[in-house]
Structures are given as C-alpha cells and as structure tokens.
Amino acid sequence: MNSVALVVPCHNEAARLNPAAFLEALDKHPYLTLCFVDDGSTDATADTLALLTSASPSIDAVYLPRNVGKAEAVRQGVLHVLRRTACEAVGFWDADLATPLDAVAPFVDALERDGGADAVLGARWPHLGAHVARSVFRSCTGSAMKMLIRLVLRAPVYDTQCGAKLFRRTCAAELFAAPFVSNWLFDVELLKRLGTRRIASRVREVALDAWHDVPGSKLRPWDSFHILLDLIRIARLPNIQ
C-alpha cells in the first residue's frame, strides 16, 4: 500500500502530545501521512500542531473554531484527507498514542493481504506476549459494554472502542459521509453503518501487542449514562443485513 493517512483528533492535548513519536513514525513508514484535527482546544494544542506541520510535509492540520466532539472532529479530518489526498487507506488514531504507532504496519499488512477486507480494527485482547494495561474501571465497564454492543451490532466484534482503526478509501468515503448521531460511541455507529453481513465478511480485527491507559483520560465514571443513551440511539438506527 503506497499511501495511508491517519486522522488524529485533539482536544486540549498539549500536555499529552508526543511530537517526537509522530515524527519518528513518519521516518519509519514513508507511506504514512498524518492529519491532526484541533477540536476547538483552549490550551496550547494549536501551537504544538503548528510546530508539527512545519517539521514535516507529511503532516497537515485542521483547526475547528469550536469544540464539536470526537466523532465530528474525526469525520471532518477524514473528509479533509479524502479531498486533499489520493490515499489508498485512511483511519484514525488516538492522540495520546495509547496504541503505539508501531501498530500501523500490521494494520496495513492486514488490508494488503486480504483483498476482501474494507476495515481493520485494533483489538485490545490480552493474549500471551501482549502488554495490554487497563484500569480496573475500564476493564469492568468494557466487558459489560462489549456484550451490549454485540447485541446491537448482531456481530461478534471483540473490541469496537479501541481508538485505532483503518479503512480502505472507498469504505471511508461511505462511512464518514453523514454526521453521526452518537458522539460517545461513534465507533459502534461506524460498524452499524456497515451492517451485520459486511462486518462478518469485510472487517478484520488485529490483536494489539501493546496498549496502555494514558493519564488524563476524559472518560469519567458518570459518563456511562451518556454512553448508554448513545447505544440506544444506535440500536434504533435501521438494521443493514
């Protein structure tokens, strides 16, 4: 695969962004470009992104005038990439690099090996040899949410919420065309838009060798209420078989 673009949504991430790690990834993977989306940050995120864009021609940035949430920030970034580049695949990656950028290569390999795959999802499966460190809160809530999400999607997806995903260009253009009804679970809504049969036949999961909680996560225990409301909204969307 000759060209892959990753969208990195950022909201007040100045203290957690690691510019050196992103620049190192570009040196290791010449096919890679990055598009950061500043989602109306009120800290020094914009300054950090300005430094990054000046450091490499493979880095672009979109600056949103107000905070619109991760779902719309990612969507705007994907649409920007599709308009501005001829990338063969486009995805999104969490700014805190909870999933290390070294995982990009296995994602690309999965798409290249399997011509029938349209999407690759990172899966935080704690298999032997892996280093997947999650807080007790995330582990407990994650197990319950996985069961509910599988019921909504009618498909045995192991991990919908990992912030590392990659799509073929044509698939991304379809999935990100319309705004999302969900902000907290837009990853689930993406799969709902694919439909049960396409999830089973055209989506692949790649078990991550490393993933870790990064201090400063914006997810709070009481946000579970909003997550459940979003899951109800997604469940009410038309089913695609």
Q: DSSP assignment of 202-220, as one string?
A: HEEEEE-SEEE--TT----
- Distance CA(10)–CA(155), nearest Å, equals 30
Question: Long-range contacts: 212-217, Cβ < 8 Å, 24+?
Answer: 212/98, 212/131, 212/132, 212/133, 212/134, 213/98, 213/133, 213/134, 213/135, 213/138, 214/16, 214/96, 214/97, 214/98, 216/15, 216/16, 216/96, 217/96
Contacts of 55 (CB under 8 A, 6+ apart): 19, 23
Q: What percent of the chain has pLDDT over 70?
A: 88
- Distance CA(112)–CA(237), nearest Å, equals 32
Task: Decide if pLDDT at 128 tops 60.
Answer: no
Kindly report whether the global pTM for this prediction surpasses the value 0.85: yes
Predicted local distance difference test score (pLDDT) of residue 191: 94
Predicted local distance difference test score (pLDDT) of residue 226: 80
Predicted local distance difference test score (pLDDT) of residue 142: 61
Task: Decide if pLDDT at 136 tops 70.
Answer: no
Q: What is the mean pLDDT of residues 140-168?
A: 84
- Give tens-digit pLDDT for 35-88: 999 999 999 999 999 999 999 999 999 999 999 999 999 999 999 999 999 999
Residue 125 pLDDT grade (very low, low, confident, very high; cuts 50, 70, 90): confident
Query: Cα-atom radius of gyration of the chain, to the nearest Å?
Result: 17
Angle CA 96–102–106, to nearest 5: 120
Q: What is the mean pLDDT of residues 190-214?
A: 91
Nearest to 153 by CA among 98, 200, 108, 83: 200
Higher pLDDT, 188 or 141: 188
Helix axes 136-153, 224-235, angle to 10 degrees: 10
Largest CA distance in the chain: 46
Residue 43's identity, in one-letter code, is: D
Strand (E) or helix (H) holding 111: helix 104-113
Task: Decide if pLDDT at 162 tops 60.
Answer: yes
Residue 104 pLDDT grade (very low, low, confident, very high; cuts 50, 70, 90): very high
Nearest to 35 by CA among 10, 16, 15, 12: 10
Task: Decide if pLDDT at 241 tops 70.
Answer: no
Dihedral sign, CA of 3, 180, 13, 166? negative
Q: What is the mean pLDDT of residues 112-128?
A: 87
Residue 211 pLDDT grade (very low, low, confident, very high; cuts 50, 70, 90): confident
Please state which of the ranges 65-79, 100-114, 135-149, 192-206 shows the lowest mean pLDDT.
Answer: 135-149
Predicted local distance difference test score (pLDDT) of residue 212: 76
